C-alpha cells in the first residue's frame, strides 16, 4: 500500500511542477505590476512552440528524387537527407536528439523579448485600469496568440520526442533501498520535477540575494516610495515581466515530451493555474508554489481507482472542489495577504 501511495505522490509531482511554474510566473506579474495576466497560459504555449520550431529547424531535410532507384511502389525513390546531420555529422545527430533541452537556450531570449514587448506595448497602459479590464485585454491577447499559432502550426498536437538517453524509467524504489522494480517513475518526469525545482529556487534566490531582487521586493511592497528614492522601478518591473514570461516559456518547453503541444495547451493550463494562484493566495510566491504542488498531488491521488471507487468522478473535480473549500474557509487562499484583489 505504501508503494502505491508513494507512486501516486510521485505522479503528482510533475503536473504539480508545471502548475507551480505557471502559477509562479502569474504571481510574479501580479505581485510586481499588479496586473492579472490571462495571457500567461499563452506564454507557456509559445514556449512549447519554441521547442517545436527548434526541432523543425534541426530536422530540415533536403529531398532529392533519385531516378535510378525505385521504391517498392515503383515510383522514383525520394532520398531525404537531414541537413544538420549532413553539415555536422554525429554532432548534428546529437543536436536533433537533444532538441528539447537545447530549445531552452533559444526560448530564454525569445520569451524575454516577447515578455518585454508585451509589457511595453500593451500591458503598460493597463496599470491604472480596473482588474476586469486587465483580465479582458490579456484574455483577448491570449486568443490572438492562440489563433496565430494555430494558423502557423495547424490545429493538431505535434509530438516532441524526448532524448533517447532520457527515455525509460528510473527505479526510484531501489535508490531508496526498497525492493527493485516496484516504484518506477519515467525519467523525464523526474527531470521535469528537478528542473522545476531549480527554476523555482533560482527565482527565489534571485529575488532574495541580489540587489536587483531586493529593489524589486521593495517595489512590490511600496512602489511609490522606491520610485521617490530615484530608482527606475518601472524598468525593473518590465524585466520581471520578461522573467515571468521566460519561466512560463521554459515550463512549456520542458513539458512538450510529456504532452504534445497544440494551440490550446496554454488555455488548458491557464484555468487550472489561476485556480492554483488563487488557492495559494494572490500575490504570494511561496503560496503559489505550494498550492501548485498540493493540487497536482491531490489530482494524482484522486485518479487512483481505489479512490474513484469510493467517490465516482472525484478525479474530474478535485482541483475545483479543493479550491472552493479553501476559498470558503480561508478567504485569501493559503498565504494571501489581506485586501489584495478583493475590490
Partner 1 sequence: MSNLMPRNDLLLLLGFAIVVLAMPIWLAPFGAGYPDLLQRFMIFGIFAVGFNILFGLTGYLSFGHAAFFGVGSYAAVWSFKLLTLDAIPAIIFAVAISGLFALVIGFLCLRRSGIYFSILTLAFAQMSYNLAYSVLTPITNGETGLQLTLSDPRIVDVALGKTLVGQPVPNILGQPLSGYAGFYFCAGFLILAFFLAQRVAGSPFGMMLKAIKSNQTRMQFTGFNTRPYALSAFVISGMYAGLAGALLAVTDPLAGAERMQWTASGEVVLMTILGGVGTLVGPVIGAWIIKYFENILSALNDNILARFWSFLPEGMDSVLVKITSKFVGDGWHLTLGLAFVIVVIFLPGGIMEGVRRIAAAFRRSDNSAKPSARTQPAE
d(CA 300, CA 303): 5
Q: Which is nearer to partner 1, 74 or 339 (CB)?
A: 339
Any contact of residue 258 with partner 1 (CB under 8 A)?
no
d(CA 326, CA 279): 7
Pairing of strands 169-171, 184-186: antiparallel
Q: Nearest distance from residue 187's CB to partner 1, in Å? A: 31
Residue whose C-alpha cell reads 509530438 in the numeric block: 159
Any contact of residue 95 with partner 1 (CB under 8 A)?
no
Any contact of residue 274 with partner 1 (CB under 8 A)?
yes
Any contact of residue 215 with partner 1 (CB under 8 A)?
no
Any contact of residue 304 with partner 1 (CB under 8 A)?
no
Any contact of residue 147 with partner 1 (CB under 8 A)?
yes
Of these, 137, 199, 243, 295, which contacts partner 1 (CB under 8 A)?
137
User: What character string, x for contact with partner 1 (CB under 8 A) and - otherwise, covers 232-251?
Assistant: --------------------
Any contact of residue 156 with partner 1 (CB under 8 A)?
no
DSSP string, 60-111: -EEEEEEEEEE-TTSSEEEEEEEHHHHHHTHHHHHHHHTHHHHHHHHHHHHH
Any contact of residue 122 with partner 1 (CB under 8 A)?
yes
Sequence-distant (≥ 6) Cβ neighbours of residue 17 within 8 angstroms = 192, 193, 195, 196, 197, 292, 293, 296
- The DSSP secondary-structure symbol of 311 reads S
Q: Nearest distance from residue 309's CB to partner 1, in Å? A: 12
Of these, 77, 95, 112, 148, which contacts partner 1 (CB under 8 A)?
148
Q: Which is nearer to partner 1, 282 or 294 (CB)?
A: 282
DSSP string, 101-162: HHHHHHHHHHHHHHHHHHHHHTGGGGSSS-HHHHHHHHHHHHHHHHHHHHHHH-SS----PP
Handedness of CA 336, 15, 298, 264 (dihedral sign): positive
Sequence-distant (≥ 6) Cβ neighbours of residue 111 within 8 angstroms = 43, 46, 47, 50, 242, 245, 246, 248, 249, 250
User: What character string, x for contact with partner 1 (CB under 8 A) and - otherwise, covers 29-58?
Assistant: -------x----------------------
- Interhelix angle 314-329/285-302, rounded to 10 degrees, is 140
The β-bridge partners of 64 are 79
Q: Which is nearer to partner 1, 230 or 312 (CB)?
A: 312
Any contact of residue 151 with partner 1 (CB under 8 A)?
yes
Type and span of the H or E element at 280: helix 265-280
**Applying CB under 8 A, which part among 135-143, 197-205, 228-236, 254-262 lies near partner 1?**
135-143
Of these, 98, 139, 206, 301, which contacts partner 1 (CB under 8 A)?
139
**Applying CB under 8 A, which part among 183-191, 220-228, 237-245, 313-321 lies near partner 1?**
313-321
Any contact of residue 214 with partner 1 (CB under 8 A)?
no
**What are 82's three cell numbers?**
537531414
Any contact of residue 129 with partner 1 (CB under 8 A)?
yes
Q: Which residues contribute to the site for partner 1 (CB under 8 A)?
A: 36, 122, 125, 129, 131-133, 135-137, 139-144, 146-148, 150-151, 155, 267, 271, 274-275, 278, 282, 312-313, 316-317, 320-321, 323-324, 327-328, 331-333, 341-343
Amino acid at each position: 500500500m505504501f508503494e502505491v501511495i508513494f507512486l501516486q505522490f510521485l505522479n503528482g509531482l510533475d503536473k504539480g511542477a508545471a502548475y507551480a511554474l505557471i502559477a509562479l510566473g502569474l504571481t510574479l506579474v501580479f505581485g510586481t505590476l499588479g496586473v492579472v495576466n490571462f495571457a500567461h497560459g499563452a506564454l507557456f504555449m509559445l514556449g512549447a512552440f519554441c521547442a517545436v520550431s527548434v526541432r523543425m529547424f534541426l530536422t530540415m531535410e533536403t529531398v532529392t528524387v533519385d531516378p535510378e532507384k525505385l521504391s517498392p511502389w515503383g515510383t522514383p525513390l525520394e532520398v531525404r537527407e537531414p541537413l544538420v546531420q549532413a553539415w555536422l555529422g554525429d554532432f548534428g545527430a546529437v543536436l536533433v536528439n537533444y532538441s528539447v533541452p537545447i530549445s531552452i537556450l533559444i526560448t530564454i531570449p525569445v520569451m524575454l523579448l516577447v515578455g518585454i514587448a508585451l509589457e511595453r506595448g500593451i500591458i503598460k497602459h493597463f496599470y491604472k485600469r480596473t482588474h476586469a479590464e486587465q483580465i479582458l485585454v490579456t484574455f483577448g491577447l491570449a486568443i490572438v496568440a492562440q489563433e496565430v499559432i494555430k494558423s502557423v502550426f495547424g490545429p493538431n498536437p505535434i509530438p516532441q520526442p524526448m532524448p533517447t538517453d532520457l527515455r525509460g524509467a528510473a527505479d526510484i524504489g531501489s535508490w531508496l533501498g526498497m525492493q527493485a522494480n516496484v516504484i518506477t517513475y519515467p525519467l523525464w518526469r523526474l527531470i521535469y520535477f528537478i528542473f522545476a525545482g531549480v527554476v523555482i529556487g533560482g527565482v527565489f534566490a534571485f529575488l532574495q540575494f541580489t540587489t536587483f531582487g531586493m529593489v524589486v521586493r521593495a517595489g512590490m511592497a511600496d512602489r511609490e516610495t522606491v520610485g521617490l528614492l530615484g530608482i527606475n522601478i518601472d524598468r525593473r518591473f518590465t524585466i520581471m515581466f520578461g522573467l515571468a514570461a521566460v519561466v512560463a516559456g521554459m515550463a512549456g518547453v520542458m513539458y512538450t515530451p510529456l504532452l504534445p503541444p497544440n494551440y490550446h495547451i496554454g488555455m488548458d493550463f491557464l484555468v487550472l493555474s489561476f485556480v492554483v494562484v488563487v488557492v495559494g493566495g494572490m500575490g504570494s510566491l511561496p503560496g503559489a508554489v505550494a498550492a501548485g504542488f498540493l493540487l497536482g498531488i491531490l489530482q494524482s491521488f484522486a485518479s487512483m481507482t481505489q479512490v474513484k471507487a469510493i467517490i465516482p468522478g472525484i478525479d474530474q473535480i478535485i482541483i475545483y472542489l479543493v479550491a472552493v473549500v479553501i476559498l470558503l474557509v480561508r478567504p485569501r487562499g493559503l498565504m494571501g495577504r489581506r485586501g489584495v484583489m478583493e475590490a
